[in-house]
Amino acid sequence: MLPRPSPSSVAPAVPAAPAAPHSPLGAQIWLEPDDSAARVDQLCAHAAASGLGWLRIFLMWPWIERTPEQWDFTVFDHVFAAAEKHGLKIKATLTANSGPAWIGTPATLHSVSGFLSPDQRAPMQRYIEKCVQRYVGSPALAQWILWNEPAGGGDRTPETLARWREFLRERYRGDLIALNHRWLTAFTDFNEIPFWNELPHTIHRGYHWNPYRAALDDADFRPGWLGHELRWIADLVRALDPRSDLCINPTQVLANQAAGGTDLEDMGRICEVIGASYHPAWQFSPFAQRADYPALMSAGVRHCAVHPPVRRVEGTEVQ
């Protein structure tokens, strides 16, 4: 993917690198909330001098809104200003699924889990809108990553349970007898149904003689759940920024996609860029040699590209 170049717009504290063809290579820039403008500028100068064209940042909600409606974008303003100056493009990662302590998720800087409560929706929306409104006009902004490494369906919340039951009602066309027949259960109402892994007696959970129909239904449920959540974020971003690319970077590209709710075709309909996160040290090492890692990542990129709705692909993260 070859992103568009952008002009520098901030007076330099460190001399800007000479204009050059824009590189598709990039790196994550790890910031601390108290980083100074000078330090961030130095990091960006080094990135540009090394030949990188992109920087990825996480717009950490727990830093940005430690107190409700008290917004502090200082360190992120520093990196956008420095990126503009040094001719770097920014991939801004939203973290709406990982909020500050006051929404009920304390002691967590970032997660890949889904949304945990309907009560969190309004604060999430405000966070997304504040981020997009603040940076939509920056020449450095080139891409929004909607949610880092999205994985769907494993969240055991009342909201997910209600959606699971509605999914089953539609799948079995309201025929509870048919569901009970397939699942070896005896429910009298769809609203009695728990999550699939809670079906057996506690002594029998995870037993290899459990019937698998409910688990297969869950595997079909997860991608729809995840697609719904990703579209919610995408719609909020698009309402304020119709220009910048949207990106989704799943991790299950070369693994069990059903377990993570990964539907590459559906994701390709939501965004312009399908990326992927590769963690060879623990994803590939059980079965492959280090020399095989580049080929495996190339295979993942090609696998993403073969799905018709997918427009562009990238390797978003390698570690």
Mean pLDDT by 10 residues, the chain (319 residues): 38 48 89 97 97 97 97 98 98 94 87 81 97 98 96 83 96 98 98 97 91 94 93 98 96 86 95 93 92 94 94 93
How much is the pLDDT for 179? 99
β 277-278/273-274 pair status: unpaired
Q: Which domains does the chain have, with CATH numbers?
A: 26-155+224-318 (3.20.20.80), 158-219 (no CATH)
Residues 94, 56: contact at Cβ < 8 Å?
A: no
Instruction: Indicate left, alpha or beta for 232 from its phi (over 0: left) and psi (-120 to 50: alpha).
Output: alpha
pLDDT of residue 104: 87
pLDDT value, residue 256 = 84
pTM assigned to the model: 0.89
Mention every residue, 6+ apart, whose C-beta is less than 8 A from residue 48. 16, 17, 86, 87, 88
Residue 122 is which amino acid?
A
pLDDT for the residue 125: 97
pLDDT value for 2: 35
3-class secondary structure for 83-129? HHHCCCEEEEEECCCCCCHHHCCCCCCCCCCCCCCHHHHHHHHHHHH
The whole-number pLDDT of residue 260 equals 84
Residue 21: per-residue pLDDT: 58
Q: At what angle do helices 213-240 and 158-171 cross, to 10 degrees?
A: 120
Dihedral angle, C-alpha 110, 232, 74, 107, nearest 10 °: -20
- Cβ atoms of 1 and 312 within 8 Å: the answer is yes
Q: Are 105 and 60 in contact (CB under 8 A)?
A: no
DSSP bridge partners of 141: 90
| 3-state DSSP assignment of residue 282 | helix
